[in-house]
Amino acid sequence: MQNKHAQNLPHLEREIIRSVAAALEEDIGTGDITAQLVPADELATAEVITRENCTFCGKVWVEETFRQLDSRVEILWNIEDGEKAQANQVLFTLKGNARALLSGERTALNFVQLLSGTATTAAKYAELVKGTKIKILDTRKTIPGLRNAQKYAVACGGCHNHRVGLYDAFLIKENHIMAAGSIAQAVAKAREIAPGKPIEVEVETLSELNQALACDVDIVMLDEMDLTEVNQHLADKPLHAELELSGGVDVTQINTQQPLFNIISRISVGALTKHCSSVDLSMRVI
């Protein structure tokens, strides 16, 4: 099995090492006293299963967890990131020192349940726009310290990443516009600060939409705007910017308003990373 998302992992390597180390320190602290009930040289085999259907994500986090605990632990994989799993499916098997397996269980499963939950939520949204030009994008509403991990999971689920942070693209919102004086002034200043960086402007009215389009920005974010009005307003007008729908967009809205999406190419959904439910997993020694 090949992980088609593997090209997104190299830039995550240092972050994975840090986050796994922090998670192990948080859980094990001065030592796993319960694992010491097992003889130090005891060997064991354990299977990790999912209790529910999901889109799997988190393989490298599992591997790093047991690498840091005991590099001799062998992991036999039955799935790759981005693949679908059925309830009660064995995701992977662990073989090695029993104490290491027991001490790493919760840390490894915590990463997998969160990232698989994110990927599963993303897969549901991706399915809604399958066959259209629309991209579903995540936001910065992520768990602190795990933003890049969650954004990787979003991609595994078939959705797309918005800007990573405050450094790689401009997103000019109401408060920025008020402080700068106008949309035009904010956009002009952005081009001075970081020429070539993508510029996106959030608008709430048709007047603001006109102003943003007049500035020839890359993307205009429509914040909770009436799509019927927007479609009528832009009818037969040339459009040189991508339009992004935002503001509490959920599955129901995407289902019911799809006929109005002909001018939309992007939908940003905070729920991809903010409201996802962790997948129910279990490890059992066999």
Asked about 135 being catalytic, the answer comes back as: no
Q: Report which secondary-structure segment, H or E, holds 135.
A: strand 135-137
> What are the average pLDDT values for consecutive 10-residue runs of the chain, which has 286 residues?
60 92 97 96 97 97 98 97 97 98 98 98 94 93 94 96 94 96 97 96 96 96 92 89 89 78 91 92 95
160-268, CATH topology level:
TIM Barrel (3.20.20)
Establish whether 223 is a catalytic residue: yes
The C-alpha R_g of the chain, in whole angstroms, comes to 23
Q: Which residues belong to CATH 3.20.20.70 in the chain?
A: 160-268
Per-residue model confidence (pLDDT) at position 220: 97
84 is catalytic: no
Task: Give pLDDT, residue 9.
Answer: 64
Predicted confidence at residue 65, as pLDDT, reads 98
CATH superfamily of 6-126+276-285: Quinolinate phosphoribosyl transferase, N-terminal domain (3.90.1170.20)
DSSP secondary structure, 16-45, as one string:
HHHHHHHHHHHHHTT--TTGGGS-TT-EEE
Catalytic one of 64, 81, 200, 202: 202
Q: Which of 67, 106, 140, 197 is catalytic?
A: 106
Contact indicator for 83, 250 with CB cutoff of 8 Å: no
CA–CA dist 135, 272 (Å, integer): 13
> In the prediction, which pLDDT does 154 show?
96
Give me the pLDDT at residue 242, please: 95
Adjacent-strand bridge partners of 50: 281
Is 173 a residue of the active site?
Answer: yes
The active-site residue, picked from 67, 141, 189, 191, is: 141
Q: What is the pLDDT of residue 7?
A: 60
Q: 173, 189, 191, 274: which is the annotated catalytic residue?
A: 173
Per the residue annotation, which of 70, 218, 223, 280 is the catalytic one? 223
> Do residues 97 and 73 lie in contact, with contact meaning Cβ atoms separated by under 8 Å?
yes
What's the rounded Cα separation, in Å, for the pair 142 and 274?
A: 6
- Determine how many CB atoms are found less than 10 A away from the CB of residue 240: 8
Kind and range of the H or E element at 62?
A: helix 59-69
Contact 259, 153 (CB under 8 A): no
Q: Is 130 a catalytic residue?
A: no
Residue identified by tokens 């102003």 is 211
pLDDT of residue 2: 52
Domain ranges in the chain with CATH number 3.90.1170.20: 6-126+276-285
Do the Cβ atoms of 201 and 215 come closer than 8 Å? yes
